[in-house]
Structure 1
Amino acid sequence: MIQDRLKALRSEMAKRGISLYVVPTADFHESEYVGEHFKARKYITGFTGSAGTAVITMDEAGLWTDGRYFVQAAAQLKDTTVKLFKIGEEGVPTVDEYIKDTLSDGGVIGFDGRVVNAAWGKRLSEIAKEKHGSMYVNEDLIDLIWTDRPPMSKAPVMIFDNKYTGEDISSKLKRVREQMAQKGATLHLMSSLYDIAWLLNVRGGDISYVPVVLSYLALSQDSCIWFLQEEVVTETLKAYLDKNGIQTRPYDDFYEYVKHIDEKETVLLNTSIVNYRICDSLPDGVKVIDAEDPTVVMKAVKNEVQLENLRKAHLKDAVAMCKFMYWLKTNIGKISMTEISASDYLASLRAEQEGFLDLSFATICGYADHGAIVHYSATEESDRQLKPESLL
């Protein structure tokens, strides 16, 4: 199946004269974890880990991943023709080094400009120029061949109460605008889903275990425009945003908005997060301040309300964990239990706690030799029966 997908991708590459095509793990927002719609690298290689980059040429396909996933990747890439490149191992080239060595003179580097951050995109552009080549970045080739691709998530948006945040939107916006003024920025473009959720005191569910909302934000001294999928804007959410002076526009309109930013503006953005297509769409005269979003440090410093809630959350989780340990030690060898059933039982104990919303990530429950696999996640095929021996 993977070989068929690679063949289909190479056919699309050939039609466009693309020499090599890059498929990272990221969504349009450089998120660490991504929703099902954005798992293009998983689709084209078969590797399901959370980190990795694929590079496909006309006669070779490679996957780069780190030490957490060497064992898993080797197993999942078997018989796919995709070669594993172990990041950090001696003699293994980086993705950029491989692209530079592999790209022929006059060759074309292709990728979807929305899933590569601007800083990396610039480096790839420099490699292309060095090889007298070019870039093809305005089309998602995986989308052309992924016929049953899941749609983008449109999970409900939850307004996060001040009893959890300890600070309202107006205070947060004021602090960010003060930082913008200090840096000399008149407009701040944000695409980090974590930072937008923090700034607007909202939570969502567009990525499993990560309570974020697929969106972009444009903030000036006198306006705040939130670009998100229109279907998730309820009357309650609209009233909340109106009250706080926040306008909404459709999610996909952000790229058109960026093209028409006034050339007199000085834009603050982080090229390590904001994608290549956004930065490439900025009018030539716009001055860019490439710096970390002010919200990064702000959200790292917890206020007293947040600290108290963190303590409560850890106590509740400890209760669930202690109950689980007692159940495990009391029942192991007496009743049937597996990696998956044990994980499910622990999740049910956590769900009993007041205020529970979701797990923070899929439970890592590995028995015997599975315990040596970093970030192991049991599947129906790998699920192991637990016994009163070995290590869980």
Structure 2
Amino acid sequence: MSAVAAVLALALAIGAAVLLTELTMSPSWAELRKLAIYLALAGVASAGLGWVALRGADRMLGPGLRGRAFLSSVIAGAVALLNVIIVGQLMFVSTEHDLNLLLTLVIFSAVITAFFSFSVAATVAGRIENIAAAIRLLAHGAFATRLAPNGNDEVARLSEDVDLLAARLQAADDQRAALDRERRELTAAISHDLRTPLASLRAMTEALNDGIVDEPAEIRRYYATMRREIERLSGMIDDLFELSQLDAGALKLERLPICVQDIAAEVVDAMQAAARLAGVELILNVDSSPPEIEVDGGRIERAIGNLVRNALEHTPGGGRVLVSVAATNGNVDLRVADSGSGIAPSDLPHVWERFYRADTSRGRNGNGDGAGLGLAITRGIVEAHGGSVEAISGGGDGATFVLRLPLS
């Protein structure tokens, strides 16, 4: 309620009281002037004390809407009683007109009461209108809208809930934008990685069909290359299918009690031929005997295989890849450490992202033809088991990839 409105309400109350006194009691001009002065002073004092009482109650008690309505009624009643007591002491109008005078004061107090009630209602209505305006902005997509609630009453709690809703809508919108951006990047990356083997297959098919290649040994080499490209495409499609299952939370795990070191030993044995071909020493080291844990053996084998394959791809000839398994702090930790060029600190947070290749800081040894999905799939498989992954690198002393699975 503005100061102008308060002055107008007080002037209206004084005018009504003086007019009623003139019509019912016919006092002298001096008495009317005295009454008007008294009412003005009483009105200013009543409004001031009422405002102070409301503000003080807000700060000390923090009343709700019911408390505000009750408090405004108490203040209005106190104003009426105070006016009656004062006029009873002054009795500046003839005693035969006391009843009419009291009636006038009651009407004056009623106007003050209406002013207080309207003031409280206007304050509450204004706050509710602000909430409604904020909700309309949210409906139009302005998720950064905030109300900054003040107070402890019901309207303040409603404002807090609207701010919480806005924050969640903002988070959901940010997530949607991130998913859209990731989907676009995924489409571009898939197109790029599919184009190379398809172009190679097309060229070799046309060469064979046109008779450009006619030597039996050369034909056999073409067929072998075509088979590798087809296997590469098939593997990429399998990776994409598994990623879609991970994203949808539809990956089905067939958990059985298994020793992770046994799975690691099978992976290392299976990749010894590739390691020898690359001139890399592949070693398995198991601390004591980690207990069995319930995991999907096939999925974990693939996760470990992706880590070992990634390490072999980024370790130069004459280097070493060490696979170790140990039970620590309620987990079974599997580490794959290589002696490659390491990973730059700026690239470490992104190595688990799909299609991410830190080629500028971590060169390949020429054997890598993956689509950049292996580490992303590994993270998804491990997290589906309730575990976690970590990449560690000093930036030039090789890299270590850690796979942690909970014992229980």
Task: Normalising by structure 1, report the TM-score.
Answer: 0.20
Greater helix fraction, Structure 1 or Structure 2: 2
Please, what TM-score do these two structures have when normalized by structure 2?
0.19
Higher RCO, 1 vs 2 (CA within 8 Å, ≥6 residues apart): 1
